[in-house]
Structure 1
Amino acid sequence: MTTAAEFVAVSRHFGDFTAVDGLDLTIREGELTTLLGPSGCGKTTSLRMLAGYLAPSEGQIWIGGEDVTRTPPEKRGLGMVFQSYALFPHMSVADNVGYGLKLRKVPRAERARRVAEALELVGLGHLADRRPKALSGGQQQRVALARAIVIRPRLLLLDEPLSNLDARLRVQMREEIRRIQAEAGLTVVLVTHDQEEALEMSDRMVVMNGGRVMQEGPPDELFPAPANRFVAEFLGYENFLELPGRGLVTVRPELLELRGEHLEAAGHGTAPATAVPATVTSIAYRGVELRVALDAVDATGATVPLIASVRRDAIDSRDLPALLPGGRVTVGADPGHLVRLSA
């Protein structure tokens, strides 16, 4: 696959603080790549260096086979959507979308045609004459997307573009951005701290921490096999324990099995090497499932908290007393569901 952009040994220092530390990363053409991580991990600094708003302290940035490390933002051919959208309140929707074309001295007729196309792509052709203040948050974000797309960018950069929307609109806009990307054939780099957003939208996820890449890959490869505890915790894994001969492992709550005297395992039969005694500390009813919190003793003798999600209909009624706080059970997992983590 063609390389759209590349970071080569890129670092960025702010005084004694290193925000990005020796970043090597390839952005593939036609894909949506997500830079994912907690606040301060280096993802936004990386995006701003790619856009040209920050210069690397060391290393090189390439776009389309060209070294753009010292090229100013306006000459990189990129589109960018910020968290705040940054629309001009005194301009109509059409004028906002066409502003970049006007700066590039695109002829009026050509400008009008491309603005109309971009607004149709984001579903706002009927609102071309409105002012931004008359639009909802989701509509304003679509205008910002249209403005970035209309210049036909080599890369579209999105900096936390959904964080100002309510939960329902966020889900809707995830689907819309993916649709627009596919229809326009865009290469997109998205910065987010939301792992659910990244899993749903990405062709490739890049999990960052401390200015470095912890792990990267397609969501369906990365989620079931986190490389280390940081990545696992950031992706929502909750259970971590040491097992004999396996070292540190993690397993998702829905794959953790419980056994009492009558309690049947939720799945595939627990291997003895993965079974450990545990005490129930609390239980929460969630419709068809029970979320059971436990304290278990792992191979090191340490007490570790665990969470199991168990279907209510999989539990023998005679074992319900064991699922009250203080109840004693055995927990384990199919060995194939255990993910071994590096240090």
Structure 2
Amino acid sequence: MTAAAEFVEVSQKFGDFTAVDAIDLSIPQGKLTTLLGPSGCGKTTSLRMLAGYSAPTAGRILIDGVDSTKLPPEKRGLGMVFQSYALFPHMTVADNVGYGLKLRGITGPARRARITESLEMVGLAHLAASRPRKLSGGQQQRVALARAIAIRPKLLLLDEPLSNLDARLRVQMRSEIRRIQSETGLTVVLVTHDQDEALEMSDEMVLMRAGKIMQQGAPSNVFGSPTNRFVAEFLGYENFITMTDGSLHTVRPEHLEVAPAGRPVIDGGLSLPGTVTDVAYRGVDVLVTVQSTDPSGLNVTLVSDLRADTAPPVTVGDRVTVSAHQTRLVPIAA
């Protein structure tokens, strides 16, 4: 797969603090790649280095195969949408969208056509004459997207673009960004701390921690086969079990069954006795927390996410058996 951009042993240090630690990263052409991880993991620093707003302490950044490490932002041909959108309040929507075109010397009919095309793509052509203060948060975000798309960038960089929107708009804008990326064939790099956002939107997902890449791949591969405990926990795995040979396995709450003690359990998989310590009804599902002992003898707290209409009628203090199919046990590094 052709790389739109590459990081080659890239590091970024601020005094004694290492924000990005010698990472190698290939961003595939025409795909949406997310940089995912908790605050301070290095994802935004990586995006800023790619954009040219911050120079790496070591390593090289290639764009379309060309060493662009020392190129200023305006020479890289990239579009960027910031968390704050950074719209000019005194300009109309159309002038905001056309600002980057003007800087690039695109004027007259060509500029007007590009503005109209970009606004139509985000569904805001009817608001071309409006001012940003008249728009909702979602509309402002669409204007920022249109402005970035209008210059026809080599890459579109999005820095936490949905974090200022309410939950309903965030879900809506996920679909909008995916649609725009699909229709244009743009290479998009999106920074987020939201695992659901990354899983839903990504072609390629890069999970970072403490300046290093923990795991990279298609969302289904990363989600289904986390390589270590950090990745598993970040993606919502809650149950960690040490086997008699010392190996560590994890199983998602929705794959852990709970049955009254003595009831037949799953053949060929995990089966542990335990005591219910909490039952939380959530409408369509029930979370059952069980205190148990894993095969290695360690005390463990296990959480099962059961469908409410089929969950066994257990209460706190009940003795139960928790079980999982062998195929649901995912081996991971500590």
1:56 aligns with 56
1:104-140 Cα offsets, whole Å, 9 max, x none, are 1112211111000000001000000000000000000
Counterpart position of 1:75: 75
> Structure 1 residues 313, 85: closer, same or farther in 2, change over 3 A?
closer
Give 1:61's aligned amino acid.
I
- Unmatched tracts of structure 2, length 5 or more: none
| Aligned pairs (5 A) from 1:1-343 | 1-245=1-245, 247-261=247-261, 263=263, 269-271=266-268, 274-315=270-311, 320=313, 323-343=314-334
Rounded to whole Å, the distance in 2 between the matches of 1:47 and 1:315 is 45
Distance 1:270 1:13 in 2: 52
Alpha-carbon deviations, 1:201-241, whole Å to 9, x = none? 00000000010000000011110110000000000111111
Q: Could you list the per-position Cα deviations for residues 46-99 of structure 1 after superposition, in whole angstroms to 9, with x for gaps in the alignment?
A: 000000000000000000111000000000000000000000000000000000
Code of the residue aligned with 2:115 in structure 1: it is V
Q: Give the letter aligned to residue 238 of structure 2.
A: E
Secondary structure class of the residue paired with 1:147:
helix
Provide, for residues 18-58 of structure 1, a one-character-per-residue CA deviation record: whole Å limited to 9, x for no partner.
00001100001000000000000000000000000000000
Whole-Å separation in 2 of the counterparts to 1:288 and 1:244: 36
Name whichever of 177-186 and 302-311 sits farther off: 302-311
Q: Distance in 1 between matches of 2:307 and 2:267?
A: 17
The 2-side partners of 1:254 and 1:270 are apart by 18
Matched position secondary structure for 2:133: helix
Q: Choose 282-291 or 38-47, whichever is displaced more.
A: 282-291
For normalisation by structure 1, the TM-score amounts to 0.94
Change (3 A) 1:315 1:111: closer
Q: Give the distance between the partners of 2:22 and 2:118, measured in 1 at CA.
A: 37
SS at match of 1:112: helix
Distance of aligned partners of 1:312 and 1:83 in 2 relative to their CA distance in 1, 3 Å threshold: closer
Give distance in 2, aligned partners of 1:222 and 1:326: 36
SS of residue matched to 2:280: strand
SS of alignment partner, residue 336 of structure 1: helix
Q: Could you tell me which amino acid in structure 2 is paired with residue 340 of structure 1?
A: P
**8 Å Cα contact 2:261/2:273 also seen in 1:** no
The amino acid that maps onto 1:333 is: A
Q: In the alignment, is the contact (CA less than 8 A) between 2:288 and 2:303 conserved in 1? A: yes
Contact residue 20 and residue 42 of structure 2 kept, 8 A: yes
Cα deviation 1:297-338 (Å, max 9, x = unaligned) = 11332211110122344456xxx3xx2111111212100000
What SS does structure 1 have at the residue aligned with 2:105? coil
1:306–1:48 CA distance, 2 compared to 1 (3 A): same
Distance 1:140 1:261 in 2: 56
Q: Which amino acid aligns with 2:294?
A: D
| TM-score (normalised: structure 2) | 0.97
Structure 1 counterpart of 2:325, one-letter code: D
- Secondary structure of the residue that 2:224 maps to in structure 1? coil
- CA-to-partner distance for each residue in 1:267-322, whole Å, 9 max, x for gaps? xx2436x2122110010122343210111111332211110122344456xxx3xx
Kindly indicate whether the alpha-carbon contact (under 8 Å) linking 1:270 and 1:332 is maintained by their aligned counterparts in 2.
Answer: no
Output the aligned Cα RMSD.
1.4
Deviation (angstroms), 1:264: 6.3
Q: Is the Cα–Cα contact under 8 Å of residues 264 and 314 in structure 1 kept in the other structure? A: no
> How many Å separate the matches in 1 of 2:57 and 2:333?
30
Q: Which runs of 5+ in 1 are unaligned?
A: none
Q: Distance in 2 between matches of 1:212 and 1:161?
A: 23
In structure 2, relative to structure 1, the CA distance for the partners of 1:38 and 1:126 (3 Å cut) is same
Q: Percent identity?
A: 64
